[in-house]
């Protein structure tokens, strides 16, 4: 699984703000995103930054490293991997947000109203004040930080052998970008943790395929603003290391889910299998972009065959999000829920690796740490479990609505100077009274077109409207 990011690359020389950025700001205001923190929550964050609840255990001698996009400051995870006999030992440190948030305090109240960080192409609206998420609680390099450490042993084939979770002080010795790690590994100059990340990541990808699972490492959209004020859309090629790194997070979420199922208390991230209707539509989108999907190949295996340096293939990965619908959170205390599996991952799974950016992870960490250490789960965490699904569902709907509106604005910007032009497209779905959902070949835009057509047919469409401010894009089938 993954989250798509969109960034703006302003190639102009005047440095002025763009109409698209103004549209993003308007979207946040119109959708009532909570952008400013109340003074009481900020005061609580500052006090916690000065005096967090630190663990006694010290693992600052372990050379943890982080891998994140350039410029990232909200660093949730740090890792160290070493050989353990013929297998592997992974220590995966997760930011200790509970050390900074007093249960029931002003900051806790505010973050429960937010649920998660909201990402826009031009900025983010954080779950926690930046004094914590980008400073005191972030696993920044050369700084001692409290963390929850997942200590996991894997077999030579990358299968979980044992796992526990404990609090400890940790220290990251270096912050890498994905590009830096890939270059070091390709050149044979990477340190042991990075070389073993490749080994473990490839093992986990094979185990995922055997389970029938499918990962969706989302491509990053780059919107370029040229000197003449026009926009163009490109997809940044995904790197293999992004997959390997994602597999460590997925492994941790699978391990955490099993710990809670064994302990008969916790919260899972579940999802039903993709509906055949969505799979059929996705096949039409793949065909529209001129890519062959071998008959009989599962969609998860097909996604793994795609060339991430090919813009058409990256567009396909983006379109595959339609197969990952219906996800929900299931809290339980006693009997586990009837639905325990996350169908795309093909295993029970939970969110546990991004507490700086997602509310639920803080509670899952506390529950799993208590279960693996044989201690009573704190009452405040246990009592909150039934309330979390609604909070996360609501915040998830807002995040998706903001993302969708920003995507619509981006596509309008890319097409605004091409009103009146015609494009090749394939009809991929019925949009009801609005018309038909069509997939353009170039640019790789998915939009609604008015007129008569047949599902799966190749058509020519004319762009009749593309307005950035209203996020309106309309085509007409010609």
Whole-prediction pTM: 0.90
Among the listed residues 349, 325, 167, 147, the one whose alpha carbon sits nearest the alpha carbon of residue 267: 349
Residue 98 DSSP code: G
Strand order in the sheet with 231-236: 6-10, 220-225, 231-236
Ranges of residues in the chain whose predicted pLDDT is under 70: 1-17, 217-219, 221, 235, 311, 314
Give CA separation, 200 vs 196, 246, 251, 305, in Å: 6, 11, 10, 19
Domain that holds residue 141: 6-272+326-411
E-assigned strand segments in 284-435: 328-333, 341-342, 347-348, 422-430
Q: Is 190 part of any domain? A: yes
Among the listed residues 193, 217, 195, the one whose alpha carbon sits nearest the alpha carbon of residue 205: 217
Let me know: does 139 contact 69? Beta carbons within 8 Å: no
Among the listed residues 20, 49, 25, the one whose alpha carbon sits nearest the alpha carbon of residue 35: 25
Query: For residue 128, what are its two tokens?
Result: 């926690």
Separation between Cα atoms, residue 279 and residue 286, nearest integer Å: 10
Q: Which pLDDT does position 268 carry in this prediction? A: 98
Handedness of CA 296, 301, 303, 309 (dihedral sign): negative
Among the listed residues 135, 169, 133, the one whose alpha carbon sits nearest the alpha carbon of residue 149: 169
How many domains, in total, are found in the chain?
1
Q: Is 31 part of any domain? A: yes
Q: Which pLDDT does position 250 carry in this prediction? A: 96
Separation between Cα atoms, residue 69 and residue 271, nearest integer Å: 28
Q: Is 56 part of any domain? A: yes
Separation between Cα atoms, residue 440 and residue 448, nearest integer Å: 10
Q: How far apart are the first and last CA of the chain?
A: 38
Q: Is 320 part of any domain? A: no
Q: Which pLDDT does position 390 carry in this prediction? A: 97
Please state the separation of Cα 331 from the chain's center in Å: 21
Q: Is 435 part of any domain? A: no
Q: Is 347 part of any domain? A: yes
Q: Is 446 part of any domain? A: no
Please state the separation of Cα 15 from the chain's center in Å: 30
Q: Is 97 part of any domain? A: yes
């Amino acid at each position: 699984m993954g989250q798509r990011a969109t960034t703006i690359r302003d190639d102009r020389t005047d440095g002025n703000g763009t109409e698209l950025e103004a549209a993003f700001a308007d979207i946040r205001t119109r959708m009532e995103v909570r952008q400013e923190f109340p003074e009481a929550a900020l005061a609580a964050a500052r006090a916690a930054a000065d005096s967090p609840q630190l663990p006694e255990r010290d693992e600052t001698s372990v050379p943890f490293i982080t891998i994140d996009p350039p410029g990232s400051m909200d660093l949730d995870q740090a890792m160290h991997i070493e050989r353990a006999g013929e297998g592997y030992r992974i220590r995966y440190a997760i930011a200790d947000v509970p050390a900074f948030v007093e249960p029931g305090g002003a900051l806790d109240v505010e973050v429960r109203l937010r649920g998660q960080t909201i990402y826009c192409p031009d900025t983010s609206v954080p779950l926690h004040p930046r004094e914590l998420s980008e400073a005191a609680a972030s696993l920044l390099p050369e700084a001692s930080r409290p963390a929850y450490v997942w200590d996991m042993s894997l077999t030579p084939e990358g299968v979980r052998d044992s796992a526990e979770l404990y609090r400890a002080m940790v220290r990251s010795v270096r912050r890498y970008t994905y590009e830096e790690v890939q270059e070091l590994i390709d050149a044979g100059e990477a340190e042991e943790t990075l070389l073993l990340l490749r080994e473990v990541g490839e093992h986990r990808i094979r185990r995922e395929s055997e389970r029938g699972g499918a990962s969706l490492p989302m491509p990053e959209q780059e919107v370029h603003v040229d000197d003449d004020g026009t926009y163009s859309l490109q997809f940044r090629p995904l790197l293999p290391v992004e997959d390997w790194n994602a597999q460590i997070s997925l492994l941790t979420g699978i391990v955490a889910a099993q710990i809670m199922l064994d302990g008969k208390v916790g919260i899972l991230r579940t999802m039903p299998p993709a509906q055949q209707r969505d799979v059929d539509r996705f096949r039409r989108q793949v065909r529209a972009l001129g890519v062959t999907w071998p008959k009989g190949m599962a969609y998860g295996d097909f996604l793994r065959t795609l060339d991430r340096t090919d813009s058409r293939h990256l567009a396909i990965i983006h379109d595959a999000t339609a197969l990952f619908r219906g996800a929900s959170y299931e809290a339980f205390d006693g009997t586990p829920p009837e639905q325990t599996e996350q169908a795309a991952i093909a295993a029970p799974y939970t969110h546990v690796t991004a507490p700086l950016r997602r509310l639920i992870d803080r509670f899952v960490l506390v529950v799993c740490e208590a279960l693996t250490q044989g201690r009573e789960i704190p009452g405040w965490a246990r009592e909150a479990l039934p309330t979390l699904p609604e909070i996360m569902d609501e915040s998830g709907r807002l995040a998706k609505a903001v993302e969708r509106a920003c995507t619509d604005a981006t596509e309008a910007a890319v097409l605004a100077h091409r009103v009146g032009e015609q494009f090749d497209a394939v009809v991929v779905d019925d949009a009801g009274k609005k018309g038909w959902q069509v997939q353009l070949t170039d640019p790789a835009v998915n939009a609604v077109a008015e007129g008569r057509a047949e599902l799966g047919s190749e058509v020519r469409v004319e762009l009749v409207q593309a307005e950035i401010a209203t996020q309106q894009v309309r085509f007409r089938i010609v």
